[in-house]
Amino acid sequence: MPSRNRSPRVGPLSTISDIRRELAHIYRAGRRGDIDTADMGRFAHVLRVLAEVIYIQDVEEKIDTLEKHRSGIGLRALSQIKDAA
């Protein structure tokens, strides 16, 4: 049975690439027998949830940027209409 005294090293988990890297690390550790397969499944599930949150945040930021851009275009068009009148 693997030793549970040492704390595993975990890098940043702020991007999808970070999550992918950690999933690969967990997979390899499970294949080597360093972690129990049940723990491996639980860790993978948490990482999947983190990946979904990161993805949703990215989409929200892109939508916000598009809405701001669209709003700016609308304001410019309105001022051009006023200027033409």
24 pLDDT above the threshold of 60: yes
Binned at pLDDT 50, 70 and 90, residue 1 comes out as: very low
Which residues in 3-33 are b (16+ Cβ under 10 Å) and which e?
eeeeeeeeeeeeeeebbeebbeebeebbeee
Residue 3 has a pLDDT of: 53
Per residue in 39-84, pLDDT (tens digit) is 999 999 999 999 999 999 999 999 998 888 887 766 666 667 666 7
What global pTM score does this model have? 0.70
